[in-house]
Structure 1
Amino acid sequence: MKAFLTFTIILCCAIITPAQDLKMTNEIAFSLKDNVTLSKLHYPKSVIQFYTQNDSEYAWIDIMQKPDQPEIAMLLLEYSYRFGLPLSDYHWEAISLQKLRKLRNSPVEINQKEKAVFDILMTDALITFINNLHFGKYNPSYSSAYIDTNDINGFRSEDALLYAKMQTDFLKAILEVQPKIKAYTDLQNYLNGLYEENDCSAPQTEIERIVINMERLRWINTRDEAYILVNISSYTLEFHQKDSVFDFKVIIGKPTTKTPVLESSITYFTTAPDWKVPQSIFIKEMLPKILKNSRYLEDHHYSVYDKQGNKVEITWSKLKEIRQNPNRYSVRQSSGCDNALGAVVFRFENSYGVYLHDTSQKQLFNKDDRALSHGCIRVENAKELASLLLKYDHSEHKIPILENAMADYQRKDFVLKEPVPIIITYLTCLIKDGKPVLYKDIYHFDDSLENKFNQNK
């Protein structure tokens, strides 16, 4: 909050309000039909829609409409580095605060074309800035062309800009488009604090890590107060509930079987689950052990099923057939103390077939490097997490039932009345106790994103 207030003061103190009127012309409408002008825009459709809703009037050159806003807007673009965003994205070769003041102070009848193009480029710069703040600059799900054309989760940048223009606090309204997630707010406040204090001692590597991880957090859609955040790089799970955060250790996928980055919602969890072994694990890892040791299946409580779901009796001839045609068979592990999923599994819809679950190998949580799974996420103290979900769902009375079912390995489904968002992300830098903490780049994802930012620095 302190960083935000200081930033607001810096912008507002730099403003000199002109006092000259400017008559409206049709030059905006003409310029928006000019292909040369349109070709310069990052978000041409959004810009056209903005001016359509603004009656093709000047948005920034007209001093009669809240004259302080254009200068706040221009200074905000100039301070884009405080958000880890490059000034070169915002037409800075064609617009500037000095040029804005010059055009606004010039007589009405002079430089109409130049004023219109300037106004349009400034609008496009602000729309680009808003989209970069909200969606990120290198969002893997949405290209700039897609964002320009579509309403994504109820958000459109031109609407956000028009809304901001109607507010008393224009700056605050613009900055509201940023992610609300705590990890993002912490990084943004820390980065802004560095520039306010003119702290040149921060290593460049640290600043670059902050910038690329702010970018990743902009790719997250949720604005819920309660959510579960799994961070692959730190091997942690956080259950956020308003001002409370509950921490858990997790085990995530090996570099060869990466845990995917995704967003979903936990809708239910199940005690004493059986485990349907993925075919890749069955064929590559399990089948050689079964062929080598005939008791392997029985010792680990596995059963083999055919395509029709019928349990298969294992004989030497059947093993030979399974070896020759493994895709005709599947394997399941019954519930129990040595089940790979442990005593509870948390389900959320996703296209990767991954889930969050307990484990029978609890000693692995003592390791520092916990990239050990085939992609699913194992969570320490799974019973505590399940209890917290029931409390959040106003179902505390079900906690004794949960504890008994887990202790006795009884299968029960606990359906949440209010699904809880789950975010699986990849953050190699977080702010802890006011200081940045860097995590190992387990999957080597940082380099490509750093290169993109450095090319546009």
Structure 2
Amino acid sequence: MKTLLNFTIILCSVIIAQAQDLKITNQIASSLKDTVILSKLHYPKSVMRFYAKNNSEYAWIHGVQKLDQPELAMLLLEYSYRFGLPLSDYHLETLSLEKLRKLRNISAEADQKEKALFDVLMTDALITFINNLHFGKYNPLYNSLNIDTNAIHEFRADDILLDARQQTDFLKALEVQPKIKAYTDFQDYLNVFYTENDCMDSHPEIEKIMINMERLRWIDNESKPYILINIPSYTLELYQKDAVFDFKVIVGKPTTRTPVLESRINYFTTAPDWKVPQSIFVKEMLPKILKSSQYLEDHHYAVYDRHGNEVEISSSKLKEIRQNPYHYSVRQSSGCDNALGAVVFRFPNSYGVYLHDTSQKQLFNQSERALSHGCIRVEKPKELASLLLRYDGAESDIPVFENAMAEYKRKDFVLKQPVPVVITYLTCLIKDGKPVLYKDIYHFDDSLENKFNLNK
């Protein structure tokens, strides 16, 4: 009789618990059907995927995860500014550590609707934080709808968050930000800054760091070696294992900007000829050619028709070229005065830009070097090419390359392992532990500052 009574008590307890679990499940499911609640979410599809895999159970209020995880997660949101992210994206008008503790401590029978709303908003906030940390908030390639719908390079914030809840080190599992050195330098600086300055007051250098961390989140590169070309600082940095090699560069003028892009250097060529871009030929060269055809010979240019045949220049031909300039093209033969210098580094891109040597070495003495038509000129191309060959296991090709470069002999050097090249636009970098600001030569900062509401 006693055994039967005990079994009855246990059975009743199980039924009650199951009824409570069902109520919780129903409340989460109900919240995710509420259009008002869904309208508040930044990533509604991700949130719904998260709870579907979590059996529509609470993740932060009554979750079975380690007790400190919800509080760590909430602190992460409240301190998101320490990661160079704005606080406005994380529902902090509703969420707080104090409210989390209150809801976790009150009885299970308390207002389940309030608990469900808090849990759902916290999940959305954490998914938003993960996406902002990994992709940036204003990524020009992926908007929030695209990220919410698709796995971008197999990355889904809801899967990251679900996995983190199973890990011993919850915070480490959420380290999804870029590994590129310029970014880690910013993060290290912010860690020190906010440790020494326990406040959120606006600081100009912090605002610059914030928008430039955003730009670095748009970069999809995790490998070494890689080349980072920064337009505002006129610099090229080659990262190889633990070594960094610095080079001066010349970039595009404000009227002919160097584009921001990512690609890979596949090969480089010594003694290149230069196919003059049509815009340069028509706008800049043609008036000089029409004034004196000797200009072509003096600069080792040749004119070609649309079939690739070299054209003999005469007064009648010049008249025809003037009337139909887009039927013709110009090339400059290799040599010491070639615009591309003695070597050009090629990487596929839709802008037709490349990295190359130059015959105008004196321009590297200028502090402001936005002088080109968009391509990038590098000060010491021989050293750069030698480093690439050595890292590629082709050190024996270095003498061959140097000879071809010195004697202006055309030869291609193909890399077995193409090297990632990132052309970016950073108006702030950390140098020797301190922020260094650079002139916003293309005036890109204002737009991003406005988006982050940093312009007061």
TM range (shorter): over 0.9
2:449 and 2:455 in contact (8 A); partners too: no
Q: How do 1:260-299 residues align onto structure 2 when only pairs under 5 Å count?
A: 260-299=259-298
Give how far 1:31 is off: 1.6
Paired residue type of 2:167: Q
SS of residue in 2 equivalent to 1:166: coil
- Residues in 2 aligned to 1:23 and 1:149: alpha-carbon distance in whole angstroms: 29
C-alpha distance in structure 1 between counterparts of 2:55 and 2:21, whole Å: 14
Map Cα deviations across residues 304-334 of structure 1 (whole Å, 9 max, x no partner): 0000001101111100100000000000001
**1:225 alignment partner, SS class:** coil
Q: What SS does structure 1 have at the residue aligned with 2:297?
A: helix
Instruction: Find the counterpart in structure 1 of residue 227 from structure 2.
Output: 228
Conservation of the 8 A alpha-carbon contact between 2:207 and 2:454: no
Residue correspondences, number: 436
Alpha-carbon distance in structure 2 between the residues aligned to 1:85 and 1:203:
13
TM-superposed CA distance for 1:451, in Å, is: 1.8
Code of the aligned partner of 2:283? K
Larger Rg: 2
> What residue number does 1:127 align with?
127
How is 1:52-451 mapped onto 2 (pairs within 5 angstroms)? Answer: 52-174=52-174, 176-198=175-197, 204-451=203-450
SS of the residue 1:313 aligns to: coil
2:76 and 2:272 mapped to 1: Cα distance?
53
Would you say the 8 A contact 2:65–2:165 is kept in 1? no
- Aligned partners of 2:127, 2:398: CA distance in 1, in Å? 49
Displacement after TM superposition at 1:202 (Å): 9.7
Q: Distance in 2 between matches of 1:201 and 1:90?
A: 16
- Per-residue deviation at 1:200? 7.4
TM-score normalized by structure 1?
Answer: 0.93
Q: CA RMSD in A?
A: 1.7
Q: Hey, what's the Cα distance between the residues in 1 that align with 2:200 and 2:161?
A: 36
| Matches of 1:136 and 1:282, distance apart in 2 | 39
What's the TM-score once normalised by structure 2's chain length? 0.93
Per-residue deviation, 1:84 = 2.0
Offset at 1:242? 2.0
Deviation of 1:64 after TM superposition, in Å, equals 2.9
Report if aligned partners of 1:227, 1:240 keep a CA contact under 8 Å in 2: yes
Whichever residue aligns with residue 109 of structure 1, its letter is E
For 1:43 and 1:456, locate their aligned partners in 2 and report how far apart those are by CA, in whole Å.
27
> Is the contact between residue 431 and residue 437 of structure 1 (CA under 8 Å) also seen in structure 2?
yes
Q: 1:41 matched to which residue of 2?
A: 41
Q: Return the letter of the residue paired with 1:417.
A: K
**Contact 1:23 1:108 survives alignment (8 Å):** no
1:408: Cα distance to partner? 1.0
Structure 1 segments of 4+ aligned residues over 6 angstroms from their partners: 199-203
Contact 2:303 2:331 in 1 (8 A): yes
Alpha-carbon shift at residue 454 of structure 1 (Å): 2.3
Q: Which runs of 5+ in 1 are unaligned?
A: 1-21
Contact 2:300-2:333 at 8 Å conserved across structures: yes
C-alpha spacing 1:157/1:55, structure 2 compared with 1 (3 Å): same
Q: Which amino acid aligns with 1:231?
A: N
**Cα distance change on mapping 1:377 and 1:150 into 2, 3 Å:** same
Residue identity in the other structure for 1:315: S
Aligned pair in 2 of structure 1 residues 202, 109: CA closer, same or farther (>3 Å)? closer
CA contact (8 A) 2:57 2:63 kept: no
Where structure 2 has 5 or more consecutive residues not aligned to the other structure, the ranges are 1-19
1: distance between equivalents of 2:184 and 2:221?
A: 14
Task: State the alpha-carbon separation in 1 of the partners of residues 447 and 287 from structure 2.
Answer: 38
The 1-side partners of 2:62 and 2:201 are apart by 42
Q: Corresponding residue for 1:16?
A: none
CA distance in 2 between counterparts of 1:403 and 1:432 reads: 33
